A and B are shown apart, each in its own frame.
Chain A
Amino acid sequence: MSSPREHSLTTSHKLEYGYKRSLGPVLSRFFTGIRDRKILGARRADGTVIVPPKEYDPDTSAALDELTPVGPGGVVKSWAWVSEPRRQQPLDRAFAYALIQLDGADTSFLHVVDAKEESAMNTGMRVVAAWSDQATGAITDLSFVPESKNSREDAN
């Protein structure tokens, strides 16, 4: 005869891979720039600027090593509102993921706009970089906020 059934045991598990990525010469300069509160793009032979920088030109495959500062302001080209952020997302409050074309750049940069409310977002709006107090050299050192008269002054 079977013994009376007991309930199943349950426990919490955490699966974790502690990856480290070697950045290489170009992205190393990009992330060092982030720590130093500068956003760098890579200049191509035709003068256009790719942000974030790539090691090689996506069309000609030529090695890229000229980095140039862009931003800190830019234009939102497209966006999606995240009303209920998950724990590992960049902010603990509602925010927008946006494609941002920074001033001086010719491509859009996927990043975060800390806009407080969805109604504050629109395509074509100007945003400006806001830096976290802790400069660690991670992409999360940075977020963007809607550009206001005040934020323009901060940026200057």
Chain B
Amino acid sequence: MSEEANEPIEVLRLPVELEYQYTAGESASRFLRAIKRGKLLGQRCPVDGRVYFPTRGCCPQHGVPMADDGSVELPDVGTLVTYSIVRIPSENIPLDLPYVTIQVLLDGADTVMMHVLGECALEDVHMGMRLKAKWKPEEEWESSVGNILYFVPQDEPDAPYDSYKEHI
């Protein structure tokens, strides 16, 4: 702030920081190892057969463990369930404004994932759009959902409302 040496101080920066080690656990580790190879892994509940994405240790509805062999590989295509156009910057999000955050229901999954939409004019965004993941170059893949840069609209008819209405 030395360049403002004579200006009154009117604002104080007070960052709150928490640094910690995160251990993913067995189930999320399986998901993260798979996405490093470009595969999207969900997991099937042994009680009602619903597919949760990403994999998790137990079914949140029935409280039963999800066995390793319940893993389901999902395609990188799905349906836009809902979205929000973001016009307010945030220091930790390196995207150009405005951008579109979306909830995507991957084909074969029963839970949505949050991501961003790309290559689409704002006025064209709508619920039910069919989408496909745009991946980073394979040599840059790591154990991160960030391997998917964004989702891109597909040239195909919208999904019927009934196919995704329970996820809104």
A residues with CB within 8 A of B:
1-3, 5-23, 28-29, 31-32, 34-35, 88, 134-138
Please tell me if the beta carbons of B14 and A20 are within 8 angstroms of each other in the complex.
yes
8 Å CB interface, B116-161 against A: 143
Q: Is the CB of A17 within 8 A of B15?
A: yes
Of all chain A residues, the one with the shortest Cβ separation from B143 is A9
A19-B13, A19-B15, A22-B11 as given contacts; A8 in contact with B21, CB under 8 Å: no
A31 to B1, CA, bound (A): 13
Neighbouring A residues of B23 by C-beta, 8 Å? 8-10
Collect the chain B residues with CB atoms within 8 Å of residue A19's CB: 13-16
- Pairwise interchain contact B22-A23, C-beta atoms closer than 8 A: no
Given A9-B33, A11-B22; A20-B17 close (CB under 8 Å): no
B8 at the interface (CB under 8 A from A): yes
B43 smallest CB distance to A (angstroms): 13
Interface centre among B22, B25, B69 (most CB of A within 10 A): B22
- Residue B168 lies at the interface, judged by CB distance under 8 Å to chain A: no
Q: Is B88 an interface residue, CB under 8 A from the partner?
A: no
A23 and B10: CB pair below 8 A?
yes
Interface string of B1-28 (1 = CB under 8 A from A): 1100100111111111111111111101
Q: Does B162 contact A (CB under 8 A)?
A: no
Total count of chain B residues near the partner, CB < 8 A: 33
Query: What are 11 A-B interface contacts by the 8 Å CB criterion?
Result: A1-B69, A9-B23, A9-B28, A10-B23, A12-B19, A12-B20, A13-B19, A15-B17, A19-B15, A28-B10, A29-B8
Of B16, B26, B30, the contact of A17 (CB 8 Å cutoff): B16
Q: Secondary structure of the A side of the interface?
A: mixed
Q: Which listed residue, B5, B16, B25, B69, touches A16 by the CB 8 Å rule? A: B16
Mostly, the B contact residues are mixed
Cβ-based interface call for B68 (8 A): yes
Q: B84 near A: Cβ within 8 Å?
A: no
Partner of A8, one of B10, B14, B16, B25: B25
Give the chain A neighbours of B143 by CB distance below 8 A.
9
Contact B9 A35 (CB under 8 A): yes
Q: Within the assembled complex, what's the spacing in Å between the Cα atoms of A3 and B68?
A: 7
The one of B1, B28, B32, B33 in contact with A136, judged by C-beta atoms closer than 8 angstroms, is: B1
A112 → B minimal CB distance (Å): 17
CB nearest to B31 among chain A residues: A9
Query: CB-nearest residue of chain B relative to A29?
Result: B8
**B9 and A32 contacting across the interface, CB-CB below 8 Å:** yes
B32–A32 touching, CB < 8 Å: no
**A11 neighbours in B (Cβ, 8 Å):** 21-22, 24
B91 touches A18 (CB 8 A): yes
By beta carbon, the residue of chain B nearest A10 is B23
Neighbouring B residues of A138 by C-beta, 8 Å = 12
B-side contacts of A1, CB under 8 Å: 69
